[in-house]
Chains A and B, each alone.
Chain A
Amino acid sequence: MNTNISPKVQPLDASQIPAARPSKFKLALRELWRAPLSAKFGILVVCGYIFIAIFAPWLTHYGESEIVGGPFEEWGKKFLLGTDNLGRDMFTRLLYGARNTIGIAFVTTCLAFLIGGISGILAAILGGWPDQIMSRVVDILMAIPSLIFSLLLLTIFGTSIPVLVIIIAVLDSTRVFRLARAVSLNVVVMDYVEAARLRGEGLAWITLREVLPNIMPPLVAEFGLRFCFVFLTIAALSFLGLGIQPPTADWGSMVRDNATLISYGDITPLLPAGAIALLTVGVNFIVDWFLHKTSGLKDGQ
């Protein structure tokens, strides 16, 4: 994140760089090597999920919503994890579910950060009445529990993926706004921001080049946590039948559709739920480690 603010230095050729100083990449690798077991586990899990999400079609030879057998077939050679309530291959849907559920949650989180982050920084820079207005609007939006609010909005606008993404992104951007504003307030009083203002830099420059790089660490950590939250919200809504709609494979609705199997002691419906849990645990572990690193907290705090 610091690469773009390096001042104008004479370019050095390789011989002039002291050999003892390792590159950024090496430093990062070394840091990773020293990370606690939980963080390594988290990184492994997240990488695994990304791999599955990208390569889902190559990992299975059934289609996403293709009906390939009878309903609720047993685990076996032909269907690795059996089939679901309509006779679609469970394993295939689990793989595609990674793509859909994670993809939609990721897009939503990015949108939430775009809205919340920018308005938060702007509120801190501008101060005065723009800050007052934005803060009060956020206060009011946060006064309604977000699941209930999204249920209300979904009733009004109907359930479709774009509507879902926008509703959750907007409701979630309120928390991003609060954080971005709070951390930016500490930065906007710095002399270099004042200097940029006196230089006559525009609002966009101050937001993106002066404030944003300096509030990155807490925002990155928050991104992880918000992603988990959004991911769980979308899964919950899909579980309630109000999120991602069939025939799109999605972990929340897969649990709902196959829940009857649980009363026969079959754990298949728990697999998508477990997949959700594993990813959020992984992300949480990484965030925990990252916060620990960037805030310089000592053990046990």
Chain B
Amino acid sequence: MLSILRLTLQRLGLGVLVLFVVSLIIFLGVELLPGDLCQAIQGQSATESTVAACRKDLGLDQSAPTRYVHWLQGIVKGDFGKSLANGRQISELISVRLQNTFFLAIVAAVIAVPLSLTLGILAALYRNSWFDRTINVFTLSSISFPEFFVAYILILVFSVKLGWFPSLSDVSPDTPFFERLYKVFLPALTLTLVVMAHMMRMTRAAIINLMASPYIEMAKFKGLSRGRIILHHALPNAWAPIVNVVALNLAYLIVGVVIVEVVFVYPGLGQLIVDSVQKRDIPVVQACSIIFAATYVVLNLTADILSIATNPRLLHPR
């Protein structure tokens, strides 16, 4: 038990370190700008005095380390500074959108994870059957499809032809829960299709890998059924790789969400970052990047820790 705790603490420490370095990169990236932020905003029309005023306004007259410390302190308190485009508080812009994005990602995960685990186990169970082959071709293709292709096909079928679901997911903070669920169904389905393939293949591979080990053969000789062998003998040992790949794919959802939100005009963080990149609204892009990156790091960390925690071998150190 002690070794698990020690490993977990080690990973947590490493995670904090990574988060710190990531924030440093996101901050320093902007320092790479030729000239500085103010010259970049004002472009051709910049004069000495307007640039100086702008620098003072944004606090650029201070040294970089001081600004970094201030920026980081602000983020910890939930204050990301002001948007360059409209001067509004970034935290205000972000809060509702962040909830929307998490809502979408969670709905997608709730559909995708159980579905892909079940299908993966079934594919391992009926290995090399037509079912397995169909799933194999299907997953290989869905990995190769761009997200927006999947999204537009779903819109064409479910929204335009059948008229079952709306093609625009315009939710507002006071949309009731079930209507919200109805409106995010298509984006969530798109994300599900995109992340499912990988999880399913890994589940299948992890179980098939284990099926060759001697203790499974022993279980077969005892005369147990295939289903029982997989569920009670193979699965417990397969948890580590499966849990790992699930967490990694949830991290991937964070990236996929950007494109899907743009297709469905869903008011989330992804759309905000794309809009801000177009306007070159650097503070907003920085704020969104750090949120996305932090979520990604935390999910990867969870993957790491869970695969340590679910590894039965670590429970009984020699």
Contacts and interface: CB of A to CB of B under 8 A. Distances in A.
Nearest to B128: A300
B141, B161, B205, most chain A CB atoms within 10 A: B141
A281 B140 contact: yes
Contacts of B277: 151, 154-155, 240, 242
B29 A145 contact: no
Interface string B272-303: 01101110101001101100110011001000
B105 to A, nearest CB: 13
A18 B293 CA distance: 62
Contact of B160 (A148, A158, A265): A265
A143 B22 contact: yes
Interface residue tally of chain B, by bracket? 35 or more
Contacts of B282: 155-156
Interface stretch (A1-9, A78-86, A255-263): A255-263
A276 B159 CA distance: 23
Contact of B141 (A156, A240, A281): A281
B149 interface: yes
Contacts of A157: 32
Contacts of B141: 277, 281, 284
A166 to B, nearest CB: 13
Interface string A273-301: 11011001101110010000000000111
Interface residue tally of chain A, by bracket? 35 or more
B145 A280 contact: yes
A198 interface: no
Contacts of A265: 156, 160-161
B208 interface: yes
Contact of A236 (B146, B153, B159, B300): B146
Interface string A224-268: 000010001001100111100000000010010001001111010
A106 interface: no
B148 A242 contact: no
A241 B275 CA distance: 10
A268 to B, nearest CB: 11
A144 B144 contact: no
B259 interface: yes
A251 to B, nearest CB: 9
A262 B155 contact: yes
A240 B147 contact: no
Contacts of A240: 258-259, 262, 274, 277
Given A140-B18, A284-B140, A285-B140, A239 B155 contact: no
Contact of B156 (A140, A262, A281): A262
A46 interface: no
